[in-house]
């Protein structure tokens, strides 16, 4: 039986909606203010929420924003108001509301809107992560502020970083609501002459410059001026050296210069490991909310292991690991043994190690040492004691060496 949460400070409205929806076979739960709705949402995920906008303690728009920022807007929400305006409805939809009902609510319109929203929910896929709730570190806070500043300047942006950095998370921060969002690999085709008009005022996002075919690169080169005239913002990412893009992938220097008019570095997880527990919890909560897996939660010891791992594949690897844990853990609580079971598959393989050979000896030695210690920290779940023993170093010396190489440790002793 599908569950609907009705949030309204007027008892008459709550009782009327409860009676109508119960007669239609829905399980109805009631909340008379945002506080009660917030408490209910922290315990359970309803299939649908009917949310009044004007309430005495916290208005519905504010509550909707709160759920969205905390990754809890994983169910359709229909806003209700007796004093609604077009601006309010647009604002609610922009935040994530599914629909808007004006009071007094006609019976047939109520039922049709509820059924439509629930049908949409049945086709709903897992909610993607959002940069808003991704972490609380100074690294991400600073990057969010810079992106907010850059969003107001209509110039192409090139993100650079390691593989697995999930560049779309950051690119979405440059996308204005209710404007086109197109993926370059899907739309750069032979019949893409209408692309400038289709993407006008929006974003054309290149997930990885090195993965575009030479034919798609030619299309992008040919369309670049037209896209600019149509106010299409080019946002792209690469983990490759720009020189290699020119030498091995068919880019000309003029196109690459245009794409990289503004270049922003994306942080690796190793640069903000303090965010990993929050990110893992958010990922797991979304999997549970969308019913991808049974109810699950992390033990603190499990989160500590995830935090101290080096994650060579960054957010992509962490996402994969959380999904694996969500589906394969035998208990509701995911503990340290579960994490230790799956971490070895994400550790960097020695055979894949590539070292710079055309640099001074000191730089080459530092590159090897960094790769060496990151490899062993990953294998040992961040345990300094075990790595020191395995590498034959005194623990204080190891700490000093890791700090010198810029490798975070989390100071995990056991």
User: Looking at residue 178, what is its pLDDT?
Assistant: 85
Indicate whether 382 and 367 sit together in one domain.
yes
Between CA 247 and CA 253 the distance in angstroms is 10
Indicate whether 254 and 314 sit together in one domain.
no
Residue 414 covered by a domain: no
Say whether pLDDT at 349 is over 70. Answer: no
Indicate whether 342 and 355 sit together in one domain.
no
Indicate whether 373 and 277 sit together in one domain.
no
- Higher pLDDT pick, 69 / 296: 296
Residue 132 covered by a domain: no
Say whether pLDDT at 33 is over 70. Answer: yes
Domain coverage including residue 330: 270-346
Give CA separation, 61 vs 36, 87, 127, 317, in Å: 15, 12, 20, 35
Residue 129 covered by a domain: no
What average pLDDT does this structure show over 334-356? 77
Say whether pLDDT at 35 is over 70. Answer: yes
Say whether pLDDT at 266 is over 80. Answer: yes
Distance of CA 392 to the CA centre of its chain: 40
Between CA 172 and CA 82 the distance in angstroms is 34
Indicate whether 57 and 110 sit together in one domain.
yes
User: Looking at residue 152, what is its pLDDT?
Assistant: 86
My answer on whether omega of the bond before 104 falls inside 30° of 0, hence cis, is: yes
User: Looking at residue 412, what is its pLDDT?
Assistant: 47
**Cβ neighbour number for residue 302 with a 10 Å cutoff:** 22
User: Looking at residue 52, what is its pLDDT?
Assistant: 94
Indicate whether 189 and 257 sit together in one domain.
yes
Between CA 339 and CA 342 the distance in angstroms is 5
- Give me the sign of the Cα torsion angle 358, 359, 360, 364: negative
Say whether pLDDT at 112 is over 90. Answer: yes
Which of 24-33, 87-96, 109-118 is least confident? 87-96
pLDDT band at 131 (very low <50, low <70, confident <90, very high): confident
Indicate whether 147 and 223 sit together in one domain.
yes
pLDDT band at 126 (very low <50, low <70, confident <90, very high): very low
Mode of pairing for the β-strands spanning 48-52 and 27-31 = unpaired
User: Looking at residue 125, what is its pLDDT?
Assistant: 44
Say whether pLDDT at 219 is over 60. Answer: yes
Residues 6 or more apart whose Cβ sits within 8 Å of residue 230: 196, 197, 199, 200, 201
Q: Where are the alpha helices (DSSP H) in 24-95?
A: 34-43, 60-69, 86-95
Indicate whether 19 and 117 sit together in one domain.
yes
Quote the number of domains for the chain. Answer: 4
Indicate whether 219 and 146 sit together in one domain.
yes
pLDDT band at 239 (very low <50, low <70, confident <90, very high): very high
The CATH number of the domain holding residue 220 is 3.40.50.300
- Structure tokens, 178: 């209710």
Indicate whether 192 and 223 sit together in one domain.
yes
Residue 128 covered by a domain: no
- Higher pLDDT pick, 85 / 170: 170
For helices 395-405 and 384-391, angle between their N-to-C axes, nearest 10 degrees: 100
Indicate whether 87 and 148 sit together in one domain.
no
Residues 6 or more apart whose Cβ sits within 8 Å of residue 374: 270, 310, 312, 348, 407
Q: Where a domain ends, among 122, 151, 166?
A: 122
Between CA 256 and CA 221 the distance in angstroms is 9
pLDDT band at 236 (very low <50, low <70, confident <90, very high): very high
Indicate whether 251 and 228 sit together in one domain.
yes
Chain length of the chain: 414
The CATH number of the domain holding residue 100 is 3.40.50.2300
Q: Are 219 and 118 in contact (CB under 8 A)?
A: no
The CATH number of the domain holding residue 289 is 1.10.8.60
């Amino acid at each position: 039986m599908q569950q609907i949460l009705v949030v309204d400070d007027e008892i008459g409205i709550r009782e009327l909606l409860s009676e109508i929806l119960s007669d239609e076979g829905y399980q109805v739960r009631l909340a008379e203010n945002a506080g009660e709705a917030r408490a209910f949402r922290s315990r359970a995920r309803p299939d649908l929420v009917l949310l009044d906008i004007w309430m005495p303690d916290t208005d519905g728009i504010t509550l909707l924003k709160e759920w969205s920022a905390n990754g809890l807007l994983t169910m359709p929400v229909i806003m209700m108001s007796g004093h609604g305006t077009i601006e309010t409805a647009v604002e609610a939809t922009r935040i994530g509301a599914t629909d808007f009902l004006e009071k007094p609510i006609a019976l047939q319109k109520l039922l049709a809107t509820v059924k439509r929203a629930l049908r949409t929910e049945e086709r709903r896929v897992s909610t993607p992560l959002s940069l808003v709730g991704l972490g609380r570190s100074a690294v991400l806070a600073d990057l969010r502020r810079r992106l907010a500043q850059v969003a107001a300047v209509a110039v192409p942006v090139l993100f650079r970083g390691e593989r697995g950095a999930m560049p779309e998370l950051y690119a979405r921060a440059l996308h204005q609501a209710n404007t086109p969002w197109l993926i370059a690999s899907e739309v750069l085709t032979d019949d893409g002459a209408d692309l400038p008009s289709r993407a006008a005022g929006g974003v054309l996002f290149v997930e990885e410059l090195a993965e575009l075919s030479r034919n798609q690169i030619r299309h992008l080169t040919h369309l670049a001026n037209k896209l600019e005239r149509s106010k299409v913002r080019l946002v792209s990412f690469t983990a490759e050296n720009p020189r290699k893009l020119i030498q091995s992938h068919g880019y000309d220097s003029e196109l690459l210069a245009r794409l990289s008019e503004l270049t922003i570095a994306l942080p690796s997880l190793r640069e903000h490991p303090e965010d990993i527990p929050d990110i893992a919890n958010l990922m797991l909560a979304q999997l549970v909310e969308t019913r991808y897996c049974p109810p699950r939660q992390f033990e603190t010891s499990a989160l500590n292991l995830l935090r101290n791992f080096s994650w060579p594949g960054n957010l992509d690897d962490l996402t994969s690991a959380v999904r694996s844990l969500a589906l394969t853990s035998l208990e509701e609580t995911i503990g340290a043994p579960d994490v230790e079971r799956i971490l070895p598959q994400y550790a960097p393989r020695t055979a894949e190690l590539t070292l710079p050979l055309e640099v001074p000896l000191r730089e080459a030695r530092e590159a090897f040492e960094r790769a060496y210690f990151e490899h062993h920290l990953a294998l040992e779940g961040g345990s300094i004691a075990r790595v020191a023993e395995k590498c034959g170093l005194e623990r204080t010396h190891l700490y000093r060496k890791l700090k010198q190489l810029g490798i975070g440790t989390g100071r995990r002793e056991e």
